[in-house]
Structure 1
């Protein structure tokens, strides 16, 4: 077993020997899903932004924008405003999603890229007040899945987003796990999965990294936007945002 250093402050084990599921294990699955990453990778590269690059924005203090306004065609399912999350409680007073302007603009581009190929985004979480981070830490003090509020998280800065893929009809596609599944199956290197789920995970990662987002290894749904390092931690409640 080898390890890799992650920016959440601890060493996370990586298991290079994880076995991919056999055809018998997986059962039937659509051929299109199995081949989607290979077929679309070249097309994404033709969209004018190489992998890992992002549009250049002028340096400025963090400015949070509401995603429903910036990208009205992106589906929102704000899990922490419901009981459908790992706490079992609605910890947000209202279902709203905010991101720093640069991240929101990049997400608009991701959505446009995916629409070209019949997919779209559904967002589960964005900016998260520090007070909510403290609630999460009191329930699950594990830095693989919940950032220590003493340091603050990317979410607390408006620089992180949790999301998934949907098809052209807005239905969630098969992914490795549900949101907030804090098991090894949620890790990006876990391969004992249906081929369709692996393909969708890879497609989401390709689309996001193509526009400047950084994938987080233990959670397939979590992406950070570049430039978070020196940004302040915020604690403005969602129902108090302008």
Structure 2
């Protein structure tokens, strides 16, 4: 406990590193690396760590305990997001360039339309520490495949065997896929994919988390937000 407190003191009051709450929750913080729609780390992501409000972390621990009984785990893609990272996304969307690797994430339209269509927000709930991007991992499956930036993967709505590997269950699209198939209740996915989405929504809803209808991976905890923050995500020490 003393160690956890020492870590928490490096963050603003009320924020914690999720690893200090539950180290069994898998983390793949995508904006801290190159495996994301921008293709590089976003501003403010100095470490691949999930930072959340303390009450959010406690509820995630409860979710994880339930999933563990089914040989499943949460996997976190993004948690607290600095305001400067949101601004970085806005700048990227307006730079007039779109590489094939970036296009994998929005195969049906231009990136300048991401904000208008509601796939990216200029003011993100992530910056309050009360919004999350996550998925489920089947711990009995082979999750060893890793992302290789030199490979030419299929786009985010392609068959799971053609998409970039995410080491998680097949939800029908990749993470951060800006497409109607990413809508949580999309009809154009298989029955198995729909069941996985429903399982994720239900297990999160039992702790009060609300899903965003256009993104099967995005959840927020009403009442736990508040002001937006801009402190960088730094390594735990």
Q: What's the TM-score once normalised by structure 2's chain length? A: 0.71
Asked whether the equivalents of residues 46 and 235 of structure 2 are also in contact (C-alpha less than 8 Å), the reply is: no
Q: Matched residues in 1 for 2:24 and 2:83: separation?
A: 28
Runs (4+) of structure 1 moved beyond 4 Å?
A: none
Asked whether the equivalents of residues 130 and 234 of structure 1 are also in contact (C-alpha less than 8 Å), the reply is: yes
Q: Matched residues in 2 for 1:218 and 1:110: separation?
A: 22
Between the two proteins, the alignment pairs up a number of residues equal to 178
Q: Matched residues in 1 for 2:212 and 2:228: separation?
A: 19
Other-structure match for 2:68: 115
Q: Matched residues in 1 for 2:19 and 2:208: separation?
A: 21
Asked whether the equivalents of residues 154 and 228 of structure 1 are also in contact (C-alpha less than 8 Å), the reply is: no
Flag structure 1 segments of 5+ consecutive residues without an equivalent.
1-60
Asked whether the equivalents of residues 62 and 101 of structure 1 are also in contact (C-alpha less than 8 Å), the reply is: no
Flag structure 2 segments of 5+ consecutive residues without an equivalent.
1-11, 94-113, 144-167
* 1:1-242 → structure 2 map (5 Å cutoff): 63-91=14-42, 92-140=45-93, 142=115, 144-148=118-122, 152-169=123-140, 171=143, 172-228=168-224, 231-239=226-234
Secondary structure in structure 2 of the residue aligned to 1:221: strand
Cα deviations by residue, 1:62-111 (Å, 9 ceiling, x for unpaired): 61100111110000001011111111112222111100001110000011
CA-atom RMSD, angstroms? 1.9
Cα deviations by residue, 1:193-238 (Å, 9 ceiling, x for unpaired): 1211111011000000111111001000000012145x11100011
Q: What's the TM-score once normalised by structure 1's chain length? A: 0.69
Secondary structure in structure 2 of the residue aligned to 1:239: coil
CA distance 1:136–1:113, shift in 2 (3 Å): same
